[in-house]
Amino acid sequence: MAKALQEDFPEVINTVRIDKNDAIIVRYEGKQYYEDKILLTDPSFFDVFSYKLSEGDEKTALNEPYNIILTQSMAKKYFGKESPLGKSLMILLYDSTRHGALYKITGVIPDPTKNAHFTFNFLASFKTLEHAEPESRTVEGWGNNGYYTYILLKDKNDIHKLESKLPAFTERHMGTKMKEWKMRYDFTLQPLTSIHLHSNCRKDRIGFTIPGRSNHCFTRISFCFFRVLSTAATGNGTIDRKESFHLRRNRFTAFSYRHSNFPGIRFGFVPGFFSHSL
């Protein structure tokens, strides 16, 4: 879907997907660990967000299946003072044998700040998921509710124009499947800046569980959470590269994609029904 958004809409100048994994077994030199916050992501991660590697090359570090980047804390934990580049970890994640796959270390990155929009201990290539689950690259993958997609817009004024095009986009790409799956998909917009303090749905931030307000989520029955980043001019509420969100652009908004298997219901009218993404 990320590719289709870029191809269909000139307003979208970049996208990046993030697949979060916790409680994953990692093995190295006869020892076994359980690790959280392993994010699979695209090479465009470094174009959309302002993270930089302390070791390795951002342009190639996530290009191949089973490439992985370690935070400095994880690099120290597993390899001490040695450089981990070119070495491998056995990780039980997206491997057909269920005994683990060798992930080649292609980079080291500074630890994200704890109050960032999302945090992580590892960044692995999203091509790992596509290699392990080829159907994710087909129309069947549009029903996958396991990951987030961030969308970078040219300008904040593109938001309303883009939103008006979404119903036709949905029907064009998903009309047949919606009938087959007996589900309806709708798109709405939400400022990403409101998620931290004002969202009333749990786990709107990758790697965090938000306590929520009194009108918290009723249930997690909707899927596919897109967040849209916009290259707007600075102003009140601006989030820039100096802040903990580590974005390359000055301001951004979020675009959430929701679906329902209840015909006629738009989740935009139901507070708290946010989705994970495709």
157 pLDDT band, cuts 50/70/90, is confident
pLDDT of 65 above 80: yes
Higher pLDDT, 247 or 203: 203
If you average pLDDT over each of 66-80, 123-137, 169-183, 246-260, which comes out highest? 66-80
Range name among 154-168, 212-226, 256-270 with the lowest pLDDT average = 256-270
pLDDT of 264 above 50: no
Q: Residue 4 and residue 171: Cα distance in Å, rounded?
A: 13
The structure tokens listed for 41 are 């992501």
Q: Residue 250 and residue 229: Cα distance in Å, rounded?
A: 9
Question: What ranges make up the beta strands (E) of the chain?
Answer: 12-21, 24-28, 31-35, 38-41, 55-56, 67-71, 88-91, 101-109, 122-125, 148-153, 184-190, 226-230, 254-260
Higher pLDDT, 179 or 104: 104
Range name among 19-33, 164-178, 203-217 with the lowest pLDDT average = 203-217
What is the residue type of 107? G
243 pLDDT band, cuts 50/70/90, is very low
Q: Residue 69 and residue 63: Cα distance in Å, rounded?
A: 12
Higher pLDDT, 109 or 251: 109
Domain positions in the chain: 19-135, 141-269
* 197: Cα separation from own chain's centroid: 20
> Do the bridges between strand 38-41 and strand 122-125 make them parallel or antiparallel, or are there none, so unpaired?
parallel
Nearest to 270 by CA among 216, 228, 202, 214: 216
Q: Residue 215 and residue 194: Cα distance in Å, rounded?
A: 15
Instruction: Express the helix, strand and coil content of the chain in percent, nearest 5 each.
Output: 25, 30, 50
Average pLDDT over residues 90-115: 93
16 pLDDT band, cuts 50/70/90, is very high
Residue 67's Cβ-side half-sphere holds a number of Cα atoms within 13 Å equal to: 21
Nearest to 239 by CA among 118, 80, 117: 117
203 pLDDT band, cuts 50/70/90, is low
pLDDT of 229 above 80: no
For 201, other C-beta atoms within 10 Å of its C-beta total 21
pLDDT of 100 above 50: yes
DSSP letter (8 states) at residue 73: H
Average pLDDT over residues 123-137: 91
Q: Residue 54 and residue 46: Cα distance in Å, rounded?
A: 13
200 pLDDT band, cuts 50/70/90, is low
What is the residue type of 128? T
For 199, other C-beta atoms within 10 Å of its C-beta total 22
Buried b (16+ CB within 10 A) or exposed e, 36-55: ebbbbbbbbbbbbbebebeb
Residue 143 contacts residue 169 (beta carbons within 8 Å) = no
Nearest to 150 by CA among 243, 225, 248, 58: 225
61 pLDDT band, cuts 50/70/90, is very high
Confidence (pLDDT) at 197: 66
Of the chain, the percentage scoring pLDDT greater than 90 comes to: 42
Higher pLDDT, 101 or 154: 101
